[in-house]
Amino acid sequence: MTAANKKLISAEHVFVDSTHVKASANKRKFEKKIVRKETRAYQGRLQEEINQDRENHGKKPFPPDKFDKEETKEIKESTTDSESGYYVKDERTKQFAYSFHAAADRNGFVLGTIVTPGNTHDSQILEPLVEQVIEKVGKPEAVAADAAYKTPAITSYLFNKEIIPANTCGRSRSSASSSRCKTYICKT
């Protein structure tokens, strides 16, 4: 008998986070490559909204080629493990790694997972992860995530799906002597 059959899984509130795991690759053995930047999942919706707003204000919409600029970036690709991504945490911590993204319910049962190269930002993975949860166990009422997932595009996506985003506001940047350990949850 599974946890779902015993009604142990609750998809009301979903908690999303990720962790980096070091890849089995030497950080000094890599090739530099020029790759095309991936467009964000919300890029098409944003372009439509911009053009709609321009039309509402009596202006001509931008031509499609205005947004189709081919942007490139230089990346480091491991010669040992080409699927991993070069992850830079701070000045000292630079390594090839993977990011394990997980969505869990309030009981800690994992509802969805996605593995990405370590250089993929957390905010790019929330939409496919939430879609995976919806497909498997149904639509959650709220999604809680840390500050890495707090972007206007994610908030808009969750509101459009009628899901409440519950994101942390991030740490206070005040001096260490005046700061106390506080936790803030922003219902945006």
Give the Cα separation of 90 and 67 in Å (integer): 33
* 82-101 tens-digit pLDDT: 888 888 888 778 888 899 99
Residue 155 has pLDDT above 80, yes or no: yes
Q: What's the DSSP call for residue 80?
A: S
* 62-73 tens-digit pLDDT: 877 665 666 777
Count of alpha carbons within 13 Å of 146, Cβ hemisphere only?
10
Give the pLDDT score at 112.
93
Give the pLDDT score at 54.
86
Give the Cα separation of 137 and 8 in Å (integer): 12
**Please, what sign has the CA dihedral across residues 45, 48, 52, 54?**
positive
pLDDT confidence tier of residue 40, bands split at 50, 70 and 90: low
Contact (CB, 8 A) for 29 and 103: no
**Poorest-pLDDT segment among 23-27, 52-56, 98-102, 177-181:** 177-181
Helix ranges restricted to H, 57-137: 126-137
Tokens 């890495």 sit on residue: 148
